[in-house]
Chain A
Amino acid sequence: MNYDKYLNRRIREIKPSGIRKFFDVADIYRDVISLGVGEPDFDTPWFARKAAIDSIRNGNTQYTSNSGLPALRKAISDYLQDRQQLEYDPQHEIFVTVGASEAIDLALRALLEPGDEVIIPEPSYVSYSPLVSLCFGTPVPAVCEAKDNFALMPEHLLESITPRTKALILPYPNNPTGAIMTREQVQAIARIAIERDLIVISDEIYSELTYGGRHASVAAVDSMRERTILINGFSKAFAMTGWRVGYVCAPEPLIRQMLKIHQYAIMCATTASQYAALSALNQSFEDRYASIEQMREEYDMRRRFLVAQLNRIGLETFEPRGAFYVFPCVSSLGMDGETFANELLREEHVAVVPGEAFGAVGKDYVRISYAYSIASLKRAMEKIERFVCRHKANK
């Protein structure tokens, strides 16, 4: 049977994730040290796991409200107020999604008409561009450069704006670069968004993982709240990736439309997961975010270790201030990121992700995740150093 005849052309044309493709290769080797995964290596805090178990034991196994447990929405509202001085009404301006990923999809689906353009800073997480395409929109990259520490600069945003631009995705702290945007940088972008009448979809999933300064949300900038769709979740801050709990905050007219899609496509986020998320927040209010702080400190040690080691062996690496990735440039070896990743995997059995998976501008880079124990990072760095020395000599 020729299935292409039945399948949607747009779907067929979407490329599978470049990360996925790479790990299918990595699976061939048995002793691979992978530095590829984009999720915390910590287990979900026990109190959150226990809350989910208790909810199941108590028979709380039905749907929740489409928007999510009222207590969870209230806790999210309190959390945003507490951590970022953002005010969102838990009744009308917040709802719980199946991970931040669903929220990104909903925001795009609610906004886009065919042909609308969405600006996506590059390098960025792999899903934004395909999701825009699925809505018949046009993804437009805005280049971010190493010399700007991979922040989105006003001039690059302006270059990308056309009369068809409807929205900007602002993914900071950034996967894969680990870049953050300072308050001043966010303000500069906000001014343009207001002037050019853009909606900003702010993916702040790594907001708790910043080093040497708190995260600055675009929603906190004057006059930005009304044009911001704020997206966050529990995966990174609470090591809860597998639970799939995220949330979206926006003015009510936007929330109302997104909620319809969520209602028809999903119903509600998984009930037990919502109880776990609620417990994660409640515990954090009690112990003043001790579990987050503990993870953050551990990541910070690994981050400093990797940046110092990579620069020492001659792979130029800017100091990332967020998330759990470093993004070294490998061009000093006379190869691009893809070649580096393939050869490193083949010769030393260490897996890193080619930067190009996150956009063409990432061509000369690789992404290294430090969501791994310091012991694995040390072993991997020894192998990377050996690899680099060998190829420098051969050059």
Chain B
Amino acid sequence: MDKTDKRILAVLKEDARTTHETLATMLSLEVGDVSTRIERMERDGVIAKYTTVVNNELVQSDDFVIALIEVKVTPQMTHGFDSIAREIMQCEQVSSVYLMSGSYDLSVIVEGRNLKEVSSFVSARLSVMENVISTATHFILKKYKSEGVVLDRGADKKRQELV
């Protein structure tokens, strides 16, 4: 990974559909060089996935909730937090699992169709796991900004067209 790789990533993080030709123009590189670098980063897992950021507020659908769950666990000998984190991330409802510093250990983001589905996941699946000490579930009410994209339409700044 060098500075050029990082600049390629910065452009792709803004728009994953940027073509290799455009990247080459923007960064003053050869197209072949861009392709080689991207292929390498894909192979090495630096580029994990190309995805789409969806503004769920605008998806006409009532059946979607997201919860952020603070999980306290007992770390295990030799494995630390890894084995419990791996167990949690197996669940299909879970979209993210982070190990945190501070007052709890794992931050788990869960997506479900409704409150009931998420709460049954927490009570029936998560809190009964061995080594889980406690959970605190916070439902996400509104996303103002996500993945670096401002989703809050009220915040649009209209630029005055001046000289």
Contacts and interface: CB of A to CB of B under 8 A. Distances in A.
Interface of A: 17, 19-20, 23, 26-27, 34, 36-39, 41, 125-127, 297, 301-302, 304-305, 308-309, 351, 373-375, 378
A193 B26 CA distance: 39
Contact of A19 (B14, B22, B28, B163): B163
Given A374-B11, A374-B15, A375-B15, A305 B26 contact: yes
Interface string B8-19: 000100110000
A308 B29 CA distance: 13
Interface of B: 7, 11, 14-15, 22, 25-28, 159, 161-163
A375 B14 CA distance: 8
Nearest to A302: B26
A26 B7 CA distance: 35
Nearest to A305: B26
Contacts of A375: 14-15
Given A375-B15, A378-B15, A38 B162 contact: yes
A304 B26 CA distance: 5
A39 B159 CA distance: 9
Contact of A304 (B7, B15, B25, B163): B25
Contacts of A378: 15, 22
A127 B7 CA distance: 38
B11 A37 contact: no
A190 B27 CA distance: 35
B70 to A, nearest CB: 29
A301 B26 contact: yes
A373 B26 CA distance: 13
A301 to B, nearest CB: 4
A36 B15 CA distance: 23
B162 A37 contact: yes
B161 A308 contact: no
- A26, A34, A304, A373 interface centre (most CB from chain B within 10 Å): A304
A34 B11 CA distance: 22
Nearest to A22: B161
Nearest to B157: A43
B28 A304 contact: yes
B161 A126 contact: no
Give 8 closest A-B pairs by Cβ, nearest first.
A23-B161, A301-B26, A308-B25, A17-B163, A305-B26, A19-B163, A304-B25, A304-B26
Nearest to B161: A23
23 contacts: A19-B161, A20-B162, A20-B163, A23-B161, A26-B161, A27-B161, A36-B161, A37-B161, A37-B162, A38-B162, A38-B163, A41-B159, A127-B163, A297-B7, A301-B11, A301-B26, A302-B26, A304-B27, A304-B28, A305-B22, A309-B25, A375-B14, A378-B15
A126 B163 contact: yes
Contact of A301 (B27, B161, B163): B27
A34 B159 CA distance: 10
Contacts of B162: 19-20, 37-39
Contacts of B159: 34, 37, 39, 41
Contact of A374 (B14, B28, B161, B163): B14
B82 to A, nearest CB: 36
